Amino acid sequence: MENKISLSADVIASKAALLSGFMKKHYLSSLDSGDFIRKPFKIIYRIVAVLNLLFPFYVLFNGISNGILKAPFNIVLAVVLFWVTIVLASWVSAVLWWDRSSKVEQITSAQSDFVATPAFSHLLQTLGEWVGSYIAIVGSFGSLFLLLFGGQELAARLGVSGFAHIILSVVVGFLTILVTRFLAESISAVSAIANNTKNIPVPEIKEPR
Protein backbone atom coordinates (compact mmCIF):
# COMPACT_ATOMS: atom_id res chain seq x y z
CA MET A 1 0.00 0.00 0.00
CA GLU A 2 2.75 2.42 0.94
CA ASN A 3 4.56 1.58 -2.31
CA LYS A 4 1.43 2.45 -4.31
CA ILE A 5 1.02 5.75 -2.49
CA SER A 6 4.70 6.56 -3.01
CA LEU A 7 4.40 5.69 -6.71
CA SER A 8 1.30 7.85 -7.10
CA ALA A 9 3.07 10.73 -5.39
CA ASP A 10 6.04 10.34 -7.74
CA VAL A 11 3.74 10.33 -10.78
CA ILE A 12 1.94 13.45 -9.56
CA ALA A 13 5.26 15.17 -8.84
CA SER A 14 6.55 14.20 -12.28
CA LYS A 15 3.47 15.53 -14.04
CA ALA A 16 3.59 18.71 -11.97
CA ALA A 17 7.24 19.19 -12.97
CA LEU A 18 6.36 18.67 -16.64
CA LEU A 19 3.50 21.17 -16.38
CA SER A 20 5.74 23.66 -14.59
CA GLY A 21 8.42 23.22 -17.25
CA PHE A 22 5.86 23.75 -19.99
CA MET A 23 4.59 26.90 -18.28
CA LYS A 24 8.11 28.30 -17.93
CA LYS A 25 9.13 27.41 -21.48
CA HIS A 26 6.07 28.73 -23.25
CA TYR A 27 3.86 31.00 -21.16
CA LEU A 28 6.30 32.65 -18.75
CA SER A 29 9.03 33.02 -21.36
CA SER A 30 6.45 34.60 -23.65
CA LEU A 31 5.58 37.09 -20.92
CA ASP A 32 9.24 37.86 -20.18
CA SER A 33 10.29 38.29 -23.82
CA GLY A 34 7.25 40.38 -24.72
CA ASP A 35 5.89 37.92 -27.29
CA PHE A 36 2.70 37.73 -25.23
CA ILE A 37 2.02 41.35 -26.27
CA ARG A 38 3.96 41.56 -29.52
CA LYS A 39 2.37 38.66 -31.42
CA PRO A 40 -1.30 39.45 -30.62
CA PHE A 41 -0.70 43.07 -31.64
CA LYS A 42 0.69 41.90 -34.97
CA ILE A 43 -2.33 39.65 -35.55
CA ILE A 44 -4.78 42.43 -34.58
CA TYR A 45 -3.10 44.88 -36.97
CA ARG A 46 -3.46 42.43 -39.87
CA ILE A 47 -7.08 41.66 -39.01
CA VAL A 48 -7.87 45.39 -39.09
CA ALA A 49 -6.09 45.62 -42.46
CA VAL A 50 -8.29 42.87 -43.91
CA LEU A 51 -11.45 44.45 -42.42
CA ASN A 52 -10.55 47.72 -44.13
CA LEU A 53 -10.40 45.91 -47.48
CA LEU A 54 -13.81 44.33 -46.85
CA PHE A 55 -15.50 47.54 -45.69
CA PRO A 56 -16.19 48.98 -49.20
CA PHE A 57 -17.98 45.77 -50.18
CA TYR A 58 -20.16 46.09 -47.06
CA VAL A 59 -21.04 49.66 -48.03
CA LEU A 60 -21.75 48.59 -51.63
CA PHE A 61 -24.02 45.76 -50.49
CA ASN A 62 -25.98 48.09 -48.19
CA GLY A 63 -26.34 50.68 -50.94
CA ILE A 64 -27.69 48.16 -53.45
CA SER A 65 -30.00 46.64 -50.81
CA ASN A 66 -31.46 50.08 -50.13
CA GLY A 67 -32.22 50.62 -53.81
CA ILE A 68 -29.64 53.30 -54.53
CA LEU A 69 -29.47 52.22 -58.18
CA LYS A 70 -33.12 53.25 -58.63
CA ALA A 71 -32.31 56.89 -57.81
CA PRO A 72 -31.83 59.57 -60.50
CA PHE A 73 -28.64 59.36 -62.54
CA ASN A 74 -26.89 62.30 -60.88
CA ILE A 75 -27.53 60.82 -57.42
CA VAL A 76 -26.24 57.41 -58.52
CA LEU A 77 -23.14 59.02 -60.03
CA ALA A 78 -22.46 61.03 -56.87
CA VAL A 79 -22.87 57.97 -54.63
CA VAL A 80 -20.67 55.81 -56.89
CA LEU A 81 -17.90 58.42 -56.84
CA PHE A 82 -18.30 58.74 -53.08
CA TRP A 83 -17.96 54.96 -52.84
CA VAL A 84 -14.77 55.14 -54.91
CA THR A 85 -13.30 57.50 -52.31
CA ILE A 86 -14.20 54.95 -49.62
CA VAL A 87 -12.38 52.29 -51.66
CA LEU A 88 -9.32 54.56 -51.89
CA ALA A 89 -9.38 55.36 -48.16
CA SER A 90 -9.86 51.69 -47.28
CA TRP A 91 -6.95 50.66 -49.49
CA VAL A 92 -4.68 53.28 -47.91
CA SER A 93 -5.82 52.15 -44.46
CA ALA A 94 -5.22 48.47 -45.23
CA VAL A 95 -1.70 49.17 -46.49
CA LEU A 96 -1.06 51.33 -43.40
CA TRP A 97 -2.16 48.66 -40.90
CA TRP A 98 -0.33 45.86 -42.72
CA ASP A 99 2.88 47.89 -42.89
CA ARG A 100 2.67 48.86 -39.22
CA SER A 101 2.14 45.20 -38.23
CA SER A 102 5.67 44.39 -39.40
CA LYS A 103 7.09 47.26 -37.35
CA VAL A 104 5.62 46.14 -34.02
CA GLU A 105 8.47 43.65 -33.56
CA GLN A 106 11.07 46.31 -34.45
CA ILE A 107 9.98 48.77 -31.77
CA THR A 108 9.53 46.11 -29.07
CA SER A 109 12.73 44.08 -29.07
CA ALA A 110 13.26 41.15 -26.73
CA GLN A 111 16.17 43.03 -25.07
CA SER A 112 13.90 45.88 -24.03
CA ASP A 113 12.58 46.00 -20.47
CA PHE A 114 9.52 47.92 -21.68
CA VAL A 115 7.21 46.26 -24.20
CA ALA A 116 3.66 47.34 -23.42
CA THR A 117 4.54 51.05 -23.43
CA PRO A 118 6.05 51.24 -26.95
CA ALA A 119 3.38 48.82 -28.24
CA PHE A 120 0.59 51.06 -26.92
CA SER A 121 2.38 54.12 -28.30
CA HIS A 122 2.64 52.48 -31.71
CA LEU A 123 -1.06 51.52 -31.62
CA LEU A 124 -2.03 55.10 -30.73
CA GLN A 125 0.08 56.46 -33.59
CA THR A 126 -1.39 53.98 -36.09
CA LEU A 127 -4.95 54.72 -34.97
CA GLY A 128 -4.34 58.43 -35.44
CA GLU A 129 -2.86 57.92 -38.90
CA TRP A 130 -5.77 55.69 -39.85
CA VAL A 131 -8.55 57.99 -38.63
CA GLY A 132 -6.82 61.12 -39.91
CA SER A 133 -6.26 59.62 -43.37
CA TYR A 134 -9.86 58.46 -43.59
CA ILE A 135 -11.22 61.86 -42.59
CA ALA A 136 -8.97 63.67 -45.06
CA ILE A 137 -9.63 61.38 -48.05
CA VAL A 138 -13.34 60.69 -47.66
CA GLY A 139 -14.13 64.11 -46.22
CA SER A 140 -12.45 66.02 -49.03
CA PHE A 141 -12.93 63.97 -52.21
CA GLY A 142 -16.24 62.46 -51.09
CA SER A 143 -17.64 65.87 -50.19
CA LEU A 144 -16.47 67.30 -53.50
CA PHE A 145 -18.23 64.59 -55.53
CA LEU A 146 -21.42 64.94 -53.51
CA LEU A 147 -21.52 68.70 -53.96
CA LEU A 148 -20.72 68.59 -57.68
CA PHE A 149 -22.98 65.76 -58.75
CA GLY A 150 -25.45 65.11 -55.93
CA GLY A 151 -26.45 68.68 -55.18
CA GLN A 152 -26.74 70.56 -51.92
CA GLU A 153 -29.73 68.52 -50.72
CA LEU A 154 -27.99 65.14 -50.93
CA ALA A 155 -24.78 66.60 -49.51
CA ALA A 156 -26.66 68.11 -46.56
CA ARG A 157 -28.40 64.78 -45.86
CA LEU A 158 -24.96 63.16 -45.61
CA GLY A 159 -23.58 65.87 -43.33
CA VAL A 160 -21.71 67.94 -45.94
CA SER A 161 -22.47 71.62 -45.28
CA GLY A 162 -20.62 73.13 -48.24
CA PHE A 163 -17.27 73.50 -49.98
CA ALA A 164 -15.76 74.64 -46.68
CA HIS A 165 -16.31 71.05 -45.53
CA ILE A 166 -13.60 69.94 -47.97
CA ILE A 167 -10.94 72.18 -46.43
CA LEU A 168 -12.16 71.42 -42.92
CA SER A 169 -11.82 67.66 -43.53
CA VAL A 170 -8.20 68.03 -44.61
CA VAL A 171 -7.38 70.23 -41.60
CA VAL A 172 -9.12 67.91 -39.12
CA GLY A 173 -7.42 64.87 -40.66
CA PHE A 174 -4.00 66.52 -40.45
CA LEU A 175 -4.55 67.64 -36.84
CA THR A 176 -5.71 64.15 -35.88
CA ILE A 177 -2.48 62.65 -37.23
CA LEU A 178 -0.39 65.41 -35.64
CA VAL A 179 -1.93 65.21 -32.15
CA THR A 180 -1.90 61.42 -31.92
CA ARG A 181 1.66 61.33 -33.27
CA PHE A 182 2.73 63.85 -30.64
CA LEU A 183 1.12 61.81 -27.84
CA ALA A 184 2.62 58.58 -29.18
CA GLU A 185 6.11 60.09 -29.44
CA SER A 186 5.81 61.49 -25.91
CA ILE A 187 5.00 58.01 -24.58
CA SER A 188 7.83 56.47 -26.63
CA ALA A 189 10.29 59.08 -25.34
CA VAL A 190 9.61 58.09 -21.74
CA SER A 191 10.15 54.43 -22.59
CA ALA A 192 13.36 55.16 -24.53
CA ILE A 193 14.78 57.26 -21.70
CA ALA A 194 13.99 54.51 -19.18
CA ASN A 195 15.64 51.86 -21.38
CA ASN A 196 18.78 53.95 -21.95
CA THR A 197 19.31 55.20 -18.40
CA LYS A 198 19.41 51.67 -16.97
CA ASN A 199 22.56 51.02 -19.03
CA ILE A 200 24.43 54.02 -17.63
CA PRO A 201 27.11 52.76 -15.25
CA VAL A 202 26.84 54.09 -11.72
CA PRO A 203 30.19 55.55 -10.59
CA GLU A 204 31.64 54.12 -7.42
CA ILE A 205 31.92 56.55 -4.55
CA LYS A 206 35.23 56.11 -2.79
CA GLU A 207 35.31 56.87 0.87
CA PRO A 208 37.98 59.36 1.92
CA ARG A 209 40.91 57.86 3.72
Question: Is residue 53 in a domain?
Answer: yes
Q: 131 near 119, Cβ under 8 Å? A: no
Q: What does the pLDDT read at residue 110?
A: 56
pTM confidence score: 0.75
Residue whose C-alpha is closest to residue 103's, from 57, 42, 24: 42
Q: 119 near 41, Cβ under 8 Å? A: yes
pLDDT mean across residues, the chain = 78
Dihedral through CA 36, CA 38, CA 41, CA 47, nearest 10? -100
User: Which of the given ranges, 16-25, 136-145, 174-183, has the highest pLDDT on average?
Assistant: 174-183
What letter would DSSP give residue 113? Answer: S
Conformation bin of residue 203: beta by default, left when phi > 0, alpha when psi is -120 to 50: beta
Question: Is residue 107 in a domain?
Answer: yes
Average pLDDT of span 30-49: 77
Question: Is residue 201 in a domain?
Answer: no
Question: Is residue 82 in a domain?
Answer: yes
Q: 148 near 82, Cβ under 8 Å? A: no
Q: What does the pLDDT read at residue 176?
A: 96
Question: Is residue 16 in a domain?
Answer: no
By residue range, what is the domain housing residue 148?
37-195
Question: Is residue 11 in a domain?
Answer: no
State pLDDT tens for residues 100-114: 888 877 766 555 666
Q: What does the pLDDT read at residue 88?
A: 95
Query: What is the number of domains present in the chain?
Result: 1
Question: Is residue 71 in a domain?
Answer: yes
125 pLDDT band (50/70/90 cuts)? very high
Q: 85 near 137, Cβ under 8 Å? A: yes
Question: Is residue 8 in a domain?
Answer: no
